[in-house]
Amino acid sequence: MILSLDPHSEVPIYQQIRDRVVEAVAAGELVAGSPLPSTRQLATDLGINFHTVNKSYDLLRSEGLLVLNRRSGALVQRDPGTGPPAAGFTEQWRTRLRTLLAEAVAQGVDGPAALDACAATLASFALPAPLAPPAQSAQPAQSAPAQGETR
C-alpha cells in the first residue's frame, strides 16, 4: 500500500487518504479482508498526526468500505462490483458526476473526449488482479496521482 500525499494540496489530508483507499479498492488492489496499516503506523509513515488517519478510517468505515476493531485493526470490507450501492448513494453520486462532467464540457472538452476519459478510467479499474493470476493487464494505473476528490 504505497500512499503518497500532497501536503500542499487544498484537499484535506484525511480526504486524500480516503481517496487513495477508495481508488485502491476500485482498482482491486485492496479486496475484502485486506488489512490496512494501523492508524499510528500509517500516521508515522506519512509524518502526520494519527488523529488525521483516524478521521480517514472513520470516514471509510461510514462509507462501508472498512471495518475497524481493536483486535484485527482495519480491514477492507467491500470488493469492487460487489453488492448493490447503498440506498441514496447513486442519486448523490450522479449529482456530483453531473457537476464534474459539466465542468469539463463548459471548459471546452467535447462530449466524446469526456466520455473517452471516463471509459479509460473505468477500464483501468476493470482488470486489476492484485497478485493472484498472472494478470494480463493492458493499461493498469494512471500516472500522476494528486489532490483528488470532486468536493
Partner DNA sequence: GTGGTCTAGACCACC
Partner DNA sequence: GTGGTCTAGACCACA
Which residues contact DNA (rule: CB under 7 A)?
A: 10, 12-15, 38-41, 48-49, 51-52, 54-55, 57-58, 68-71, 73-74
Task: Report what 121 binds from DNA, a second copy, none; CB cut-off 5-8 Å by kind.
Answer: a second copy
Nearest to 65 by CA among 75, 84, 56, 78: 78
Q: Which grid cell is 53?
A: 488517519
Size of the site for a second copy (CB under 8 A): 85
Rounded-to-integer distance, Cα 151 and Cα 11, Å: 9
Among 3, 38, 137, 148, binds a second copy (CB under 8 A): 148
Task: Report what 49 binds from DNA, a second copy, none; CB cut-off 5-8 Å by kind.
Answer: DNA
Beta-ladder partners of 75: 35, 67
